[in-house]
A and B are shown apart, each in its own frame.
Chain A
Amino acid sequence: MDTTSKASVVFVLLLVQAGTILLATIGELLFMGGLPFYLIVPVIRVTLLLFFGVMMLRGSRTGLVGIIVLQALSLAGLMFSIGVGLLPQVDFTLTLTGLATTVVLPIVAGFYCVQMLLGVRREPRPSALGAQAGPPDPTLPLAPQPISGGRA
């Protein structure tokens, strides 16, 4: 399975995640009387998501690590919500869409990123083999390539 198309799938999942976060942010903003203060953290989160996504598409290892960290934070938040839901005063409502966006999506995106990261690490470096520095090999995982997963 080619890494480029894996990165493309992860990038689209991040776009979907960004849309859902922005929607939730507007919900909170309206609830809290439109105070722009409440925009700061979600906008930073979405910016980071997309920034790391673009870095990943360009073959950056930092982008992969960044995405893994953000998805791990999402899952940790979910675990915390489930834990809080065990208190008698509150409950945790599991929904189909919540399962998709807060469980499946972060796990899949994070898993693919880990796979790509391990793929990068396993790949022998040209310098280690005594090769001369040159243009990136397009067959290497995460080498900058046109993002295309198939024909239009």
Chain B
Amino acid sequence: MSTLLIGIAPEHAAGLVAGLLTLVVGAMWPGGSPSLVDKWARALLAFSGALHLFLPFGHPAGALMVSGYVLSGLAFLVLAWRAHVGRGWRIGTAILAPVTVVAYLINGEDPDQVGILTMLLELTAFGLAVATTRRVGRVFGSVATVFTVFLAGAVVWIASFVAHQATSADSQNPSVGHSHEGEHEHLARAQAGVIMRPLPSHHATPAEVSASIDLAAATSRGVKRFARLEDALAAGYQFNFGQDKGLNVHLEHKEYKKDGRALDPEKPESLVYVIEDGKATLLGVVYVMEKAGDPGLAPGGPITRWHAHNLCVSIMPPGLGIVTPYGGCPAFSVQITISEMMHVWVVDPPGGPFAENIPDEWARSYHREHGLPS
């Protein structure tokens, strides 16, 4: 339940409640078109309309943005009313729904779970408009519905990963998915492959900065003995998924993962190497919490921010994927979220020791100069 709430940006809660209340009221509203298609269209359009109208509450948007929300909200409500009374709503919906979705995507409106759900419901209304009538052409409408659902989800997905990578830019300001002048962190709430807990504060206190520096230094000291790959293998670390070459090779220690200790610089759960051209370079460690769902220890506050991954483990054929912004997995997959983890780099990469990732080019260049024979 906590992850469900994490996905809802507080600024969007009023809109979500208004949308859900509209669904309830709409279902009890007497009369109207007997067609189930019209009823569904009414519900979806009314949800979207109410949500847009209530978004400005608690949402620090400018006058232009507020006008956009109000106008689109009213337009959706007018269409919902027309669907209710059985008058033409399809052409308006076929235009308004995709235009609204495009507006979200190009305006940099970072989606949280409320945003993604609203987008999905608007695209469902679009499907009802274009794929249930021969006037537009059912085949064309069907293809358009599948394509728009796919494309919109793909754009959100890419945006959320780009934002996640962007944390590397400034380790002192770990503002994943910030938008609206830094007030939100919606993309961290997209929950599409990466799960992060909201930060109580985006600015580290002097004590937290000091603690994070201490942790980085202790980690560097603690894993110095694993600078040579052979020493790590001899100590019990094993290649993850058998991957033994590349710019981002993870080795994990099964015993350290269940030793009941968290954030132990002497016994990190995983090590990260570059292994190429007969050489290996230790880049850093990954601290991993023992139990999935437990929050990571964060002595450095927002600087030492943990994350988890929600993954799809497919059974047929065996494979691994990531959960989509729509919360789904491929056919015959199990959806899991692994324990929270945090990278700490020991090679002073761009973004500092707590950067989310190291750029490939930087890692390759560093490896060329510092790699040890393996």
Q: Name A16-39 residues within 8 Å CB distance of B.
A: 16, 18-29, 31-32, 37-38
* Cross-chain contact of B132 among A1, A8, A50, A95 (Cβ < 8 A): A8
Q: State the main secondary structure of chain B at its contact with A.
A: mixed
Chain A CB count within 10 A is highest, among B36, B83, B87, B328, for B328
* Contact partners of A18 in chain B: CB under 8 A: 146, 149
Q: Scoring A residues 90 to 132 as 1 if CB is less than 8 Å from chain B, else 0, what string do you get?
A: 1111111111111000000000000000000000000000000
Whether A19 touches B322, Cβ cut-off 8 Å, given contacts A42-B331, A150-B83, is no
Docked CA distance A101–B119 (Å): 13
Q: Can you name 22 A-B residue pairings with CB atoms under 8 Å? A: A2-B34, A8-B131, A11-B142, A20-B324, A23-B157, A24-B333, A27-B193, A27-B322, A28-B321, A29-B321, A42-B330, A77-B334, A85-B292, A85-B337, A91-B337, A93-B337, A95-B7, A95-B323, A96-B327, A98-B327, A150-B86, A152-B133
Q: Is the CB of B317 within 8 A of A38?
A: yes
Residues of B contacting A100 in the complex (Cβ-Cβ under 8 angstroms): 117, 120-121, 326-327
Q: How far is the CA of A45 from the CA of B37 in the complex (A)?
A: 25
Q: How many interface residues does chain B have, given as a range?
A: 35 or more
* Interface segment out of the listed B69-77, B122-130, B201-209, B223-231: B122-130
Q: Would you list which residues of chain A between 22 and 72 have a CB under 8 Å from chain B? A: 22-29, 31-32, 37-38, 40-42, 44-45, 50
Given known A93-B191, A93-B310, A99-B4, contact A16–B149 (CB-CB < 8 A): yes
Q: Tell whether A88 pairs with B153 under 8 Å between CB atoms, given A22-B146, A81-B336.
A: no
Q: Do the beta carbons of A12 and B124 come within 8 Å of each other?
A: yes
In the bound complex, residues from chain A placing their C-beta under 8 Å from that of B91 are 152
- The reply to whether the CB of B238 lies closer than 8 angstroms to some CB of chain A is no
**CA of A20 to CA of B147 in the docked complex: distance in angstroms?**
10
Beta-carbon contact of A5 and B292 below 8 Å = no
In the assembled complex, the Cα of A152 lies from the Cα of B132 at a distance in Å of 10
Given the known inter-chain contacts A15-B142, A149-B37, please indicate yes or no for A90 contacting B113, CB distance below 8 A: no
Q: Does B148 contact A (CB under 8 A)?
A: yes
Beta-carbon contact of B127 and A16 below 8 Å: yes
**Interface majority SS (helix, strand, loop, mixed), chain A:** helix
A75 within 8 A of B: no
How many angstroms from the CA of A1 to the CA of B38 in the assembled complex?
A: 11
Q: Is B54 an interface residue (CB 8 A)?
A: no
- Give every chain A residue within 8 A of B193 (Cβ-Cβ): 27
Question: Given contacts A21-B330, A97-B116, A101-B328, is CB(A149)–CB(B131) below 8 Å?
Answer: no
Binding site for B on A (CB under 8 A): 1-2, 5-6, 8-9, 11-13, 15-16, 18-29, 31-32, 37-38, 40-42, 44-45, 50, 77-78, 80-81, 84-85, 87-102, 146-152
- Does B363 lie at the interface of the complex (its beta carbon under 8 Å from any beta carbon of A)? no
Shortest distance in angstroms between A31's beta carbon and chain B's nearest beta carbon? 5
Asked if A9 and B36 make an inter-chain contact with CB atoms under 8 angstroms apart, the answer reads yes
- B114, B148, B334 — which one has the most chain A CB atoms within 10 A of its CB? B334
Given A150-B89, A151-B87; A24-B36 close (CB under 8 Å): no
**Given the complex of chains A and B, what is the CA–CA distance between A84 and B326 in angstroms?**
20
Q: Return the chain A residue nearest B150 by Cβ.
A: A19
Which residue from A13, A44, A96 sits with its C-beta under 8 Å from B113?
Answer: A96
